[in-house]
Chain A
């Protein structure tokens, strides 16, 4: 029988057992007849001799059935007994595994929630994000015009439905005081695409989605509870949003949080309105639901054909446009994927180190148990049974570790939220059945990984040799296998430490970088506005400029300005530009980032003006002008004076140019601290963004001004609300959330790995000292010096560590590619970091080896020699 068959349950087939026993009885009857008995008598005697048939069958069945249960229960019982007998051994293993499995399950819970689970919508994997883009430049237009959205929805054959939305932070004024609400303006078919129905009330009716029809609104569960305390009579009431008066027709379930968790209202954008034929608008972020069974490739091909047809029909507006389709989950998860898998990889290395550590412990244990095992062999226990018993012991330990580990995993969600609040889907991380199952799976894998080898090795000796070997003094003093395992632990720990070292150095480098602007003492906030205001840009610009003026003259305020985006946060908006004077230089395209600012931005951000003058006020860039940064001037002016030239977009845009270049400013890392400044044009003027970021430079702490600002804005703009008040530094800090998460966690894992490797080194050296006490005692008696003994054991520990370090260096260089794209200001094979790591490991390993080495040197020769 092969060993593995032992694990398969075997059963005596009932019919076979019957005929086996019937054969026996028939033979008895025949033998009796042969002895001359009459058939009746022969039968009666045979039955008598055979005994109770049912009882025999039952006992045979017991061989298969009850013994398996019994042996499992007995194994667990004996394992518990054994573990109770050696509490420190058990506790060491359980704690090691609690860390290993716990950290693994914690990262898994994040991976499961963020990467593996479908989005929390019915058949969420069918949801796609659709974007249009200009083929010629890397300018993500992204947002769709309402008319093109309807075209796509009507002409494609691969989507169940396509819809879109945009959000606006608006002021709701039906109550006593205006309240800031987040409203999502949605295209038709919105709920159909999500596959979600209102909890209360109904979806929009077709007439509510057409121009001139009744106006309706769906409200979120949180808005409903906040405003009407969850009263169903809220249905039918009216809300006021600027000019709009909207009737509440339904309440969405609390689980429906799209576009984000702050959303309060969903308002239908009506078809057939005055703007509905304008193909140049960029309104909608677009979402589609694929038909069942349609692949991403088919959908891409299909929509590309649709857009090609549109390009022929409307060459001016659609000729240059392409379509991109990505699963909504991918676009939601974004860059977190790479960080999470990197963390999962490191936490798996950590578990591997923990396992190696435990193998070392179990091997040492098995040597001590040789006697017990040989006794069991001589009592007739099959080897497989002993292996199973040893595995059961490991499994009980692994279960204990996994149980404790779940407490670690339970805290994971909080850790992730603390370190990276902006991580996508972070709110979905929780301890659930899947994580518990995963921990259980981990403990099974750990049992096999850690337990099988020592169990098979421990039971390898055959009967006679095990019986013959009774004296402990024959245990070998050298353990090449144990030392190899220690070396492996050091190798893996060095790999993790190098990764952590590189991330830490990057993080440091980011902190030291000089961004070209000063983010301290800047308060940022929004004031509600509506896109409807962009219909009269002049009025809009006047309103915003008025607010800036009021704020600027408050005591304690040094400067105030607006910007459509926050400085230091990535937002690529690159377009192709041209100078109005002269022909377009076809060989040298002018590509630049665009940012939209008001006059005063340079003072608020402390960006130096190098040449020329600051922005002027205006609702169009023709009046406000433009500023360019030094990179732009160096790259595109080509030595000739640039100030006074006019710049504009190659492809006509609502926002961009033409504008006169009024000044050259210093390079600032506007797109993020980790990116070199690229050629940038700052367009001056307010009038196209109803709700820019307000940036206020304060003398005291920024937040100390918050209340004064709120009151002042309410004074001049009673119908609007001020919200999202936050220091600029906090925004920048949050942008580093993912970076911080992976840096802190990897450092934590690496530190744990190093301590585990040192525990392994300490344990192995200690054991080695223990079994070589006699030898040491003898040498001391013969006149060896204690220093020599210390040196010998210390070197033994350090030699293995050094070899592990060298292997770790190799492994770390091989894995450096994993970190590419996560590093800043440090090369993946940075020698300084790697040497520092190796120095650290050698120092810690030396400390861990010193204690057993000194203990060895203080062996009392006479006492040891008497022991035998």
Chain B
């Protein structure tokens, strides 16, 4: 069953977007497709969450945006990770790993 945004921890969508964008410049449609593919259809991002999140990250200076040609020759807005975004990604990733580690430790130890 796909997990939708409301079930994600707050801030997780930002982390996912940063991670995907870190792979290379990509447009909004591409991000939503990649999240779906990589999570094997478990995570589906609604457009109503994706675009506000993208603009929020751009405004914070973690993403930089540029208009360019998509693979089929159409004008699209491409997002790229900024240096600041890269630092943020690193710190959020380590936070997430600490949290996930802690949670799974509790689950294992307490069982």
Instruction: Identify the A interface with B (CB < 8 A).
Output: 1, 5, 10, 12, 16, 19-21, 23-24, 26-28, 30, 50-52, 55-56, 59-60, 62-64, 380, 382, 463
Is the pair A64, B47 in contact by a Cβ cutoff of 8 Å? no
- CB contacts (< 8 Å) of A30 on chain B: these are 72
Is the pair B52, A19 in contact by a Cβ cutoff of 8 Å? no
| B53-72 CB contacts (< 8 Å) to partner A | 55-56, 59-61, 67, 70, 72
Given contacts A23-B27, A27-B29, A64-B55, contact A59 B48 (CB under 8 A): yes
Is the pair A60, B29 in contact by a Cβ cutoff of 8 Å? no
Is the pair B59, A10 in contact by a Cβ cutoff of 8 Å? yes
Taking CB as reference atom, which chain B residue is nearest A1?
B61
Is the pair A52, B29 in contact by a Cβ cutoff of 8 Å? no
- CB contacts (< 8 Å) of A55 on chain B: these are 48
Is the pair B70, A63 in contact by a Cβ cutoff of 8 Å? no
Bound Cα distance A12, B11 (Å):
22
- CB contacts (< 8 Å) of A56 on chain B: these are 47-48, 51-52
Is the pair B77, A64 in contact by a Cβ cutoff of 8 Å? no
- CB contacts (< 8 Å) of A27 on chain B: these are 29, 70
Bound Cα distance A64, B54 (Å):
12
9 contacts across the A-B interface (CB closer than 8 A): A19-B77, A20-B51, A20-B77, A23-B77, A24-B32, A59-B52, A60-B51, A63-B59, A64-B59
Is the pair B74, A63 in contact by a Cβ cutoff of 8 Å? no
Bound Cα distance A687, B34 (Å):
110
Is the pair B55, A51 in contact by a Cβ cutoff of 8 Å? no
Bound Cα distance A60, B84 (Å):
22
Bound Cα distance A62, B59 (Å):
12
A12 partner, pick from B55, B72, B91, beta carbons under 8 A: B55
A63 partner, pick from B56, B75, B77, beta carbons under 8 A: B56
Closest Cβ of chain B to A300, distance in Å, is: 59
Bound Cα distance A23, B61 (Å):
23
Instruction: Identify the B interface with A (CB < 8 A).
Output: 11, 27-29, 32, 46-48, 51-52, 55-56, 59-61, 67, 70, 72, 74-77, 82, 84, 91
- CB contacts (< 8 Å) of B74 on chain A: these are 23, 26
Q: How many pairs, one residue from A and one from B, have CB atoms within 8 Å of each other in the complex?
A: 63
Bound Cα distance A463, B51 (Å):
28
Closest Cβ of chain B to A70, distance in Å, is: 13
Closest Cβ of chain B to A21, distance in Å, is: 7
- CB contacts (< 8 Å) of B47 on chain A: these are 21, 24, 50-51, 56
Is the pair A23, B51 in contact by a Cβ cutoff of 8 Å? no
Bound Cα distance A55, B52 (Å):
11
Bound Cα distance A59, B56 (Å):
10
The 6 closest A-B pairs by CB, nearest first: A1-B61, A27-B29, A59-B52, A24-B29, A63-B55, A20-B77
Closest Cβ of chain A to B85, distance in Å, is: 10
Bound Cα distance A1, B11 (Å):
21
B51 partner, pick from A1, A5, A52, A59, beta carbons under 8 A: A59
Bound Cα distance A87, B38 (Å):
55
- CB contacts (< 8 Å) of A20 on chain B: these are 27-28, 51, 76-77
Closest Cβ of chain A to B69, distance in Å, is: 11
- CB contacts (< 8 Å) of A59 on chain B: these are 48, 51-52
Bound Cα distance A380, B88 (Å):
9
Interface centre among B11, B27, B59 (most CB of A within 10 A): B59
Q: Can you name 18 extra interface pairs (CB under 8 A) apart from A20-B51, A56-B52?
A: A1-B60, A1-B61, A10-B59, A16-B77, A19-B77, A20-B27, A20-B76, A23-B76, A24-B47, A27-B70, A28-B29, A51-B48, A55-B48, A56-B48, A59-B51, A60-B55, A64-B59, A380-B11
- CB contacts (< 8 Å) of B61 on chain A: these are 1, 5, 382
Bound Cα distance A52, B49 (Å):
12
Given contacts A10-B59, A62-B52, contact A23 B11 (CB under 8 A): no
Given contacts A1-B82, A23-B74, A23-B77, contact A63 B29 (CB under 8 A): no
Bound Cα distance A394, B14 (Å):
32
B29 partner, pick from A1, A16, A23, A51, beta carbons under 8 A: A23
Taking CB as reference atom, which chain A residue is nearest B67?
A16
Closest Cβ of chain B to A379, distance in Å, is: 9
Is the pair A23, B70 in contact by a Cβ cutoff of 8 Å? yes
- CB contacts (< 8 Å) of A463 on chain B: these are 91
- CB contacts (< 8 Å) of B32 on chain A: these are 24
Closest Cβ of chain A to B45, distance in Å, is: 11
Closest Cβ of chain B to A516, distance in Å, is: 78
Closest Cβ of chain A to B52, distance in Å, is: 4
Closest Cβ of chain A to B53, distance in Å, is: 9
- CB contacts (< 8 Å) of B46 on chain A: these are 51
Closest Cβ of chain B to A65, distance in Å, is: 11
Closest Cβ of chain B to A512, distance in Å, is: 70
Given contacts A51-B48, A59-B51, A463-B91, contact A19 B84 (CB under 8 A): no
Bound Cα distance A720, B40 (Å):
113
- CB contacts (< 8 Å) of A50 on chain B: these are 47
Taking CB as reference atom, which chain B residue is nearest A379?
B11
Closest Cβ of chain B to A96, distance in Å, is: 36
- CB contacts (< 8 Å) of B91 on chain A: these are 463
Bound Cα distance A20, B47 (Å):
12
Is the pair A52, B48 in contact by a Cβ cutoff of 8 Å? yes
Bound Cα distance A688, B29 (Å):
102
Closest Cβ of chain B to A667, distance in Å, is: 79
Interface centre among A5, A52, A382 (most CB of B within 10 A): A382
Bound Cα distance A26, B29 (Å):
10
- CB contacts (< 8 Å) of A10 on chain B: these are 59
Bound Cα distance A24, B77 (Å):
10
Closest Cβ of chain A to B79, distance in Å, is: 10
Interface centre among B48, B67, B91 (most CB of A within 10 A): B48
Is the pair A382, B60 in contact by a Cβ cutoff of 8 Å? yes
Bound Cα distance A25, B52 (Å):
16
- CB contacts (< 8 Å) of B52 on chain A: these are 56, 59-60, 62-63
Bound Cα distance A526, B66 (Å):
86
- CB contacts (< 8 Å) of A62 on chain B: these are 52
- CB contacts (< 8 Å) of B51 on chain A: these are 20-21, 56, 59-60
Closest Cβ of chain A to B6, distance in Å, is: 14
Taking CB as reference atom, which chain B residue is nearest A2?
B61
Interface centre among B32, B61, B75, B84 (most CB of A within 10 A): B61
Closest Cβ of chain B to A18, distance in Å, is: 11
Bound Cα distance A1, B55 (Å):
14
Closest Cβ of chain B to A1, distance in Å, is: 3
Bound Cα distance A30, B77 (Å):
18
Bound Cα distance A27, B47 (Å):
13
Bound Cα distance A56, B67 (Å):
20
Given contacts A19-B75, A51-B48, contact A24 B11 (CB under 8 A): no
- CB contacts (< 8 Å) of B29 on chain A: these are 23-24, 27-28
Bound Cα distance A56, B54 (Å):
12
Closest Cβ of chain B to A4, distance in Å, is: 12
- CB contacts (< 8 Å) of B48 on chain A: these are 51-52, 55-56, 59
Bound Cα distance A769, B75 (Å):
66
Bound Cα distance A382, B91 (Å):
13
Is the pair B28, A24 in contact by a Cβ cutoff of 8 Å? yes
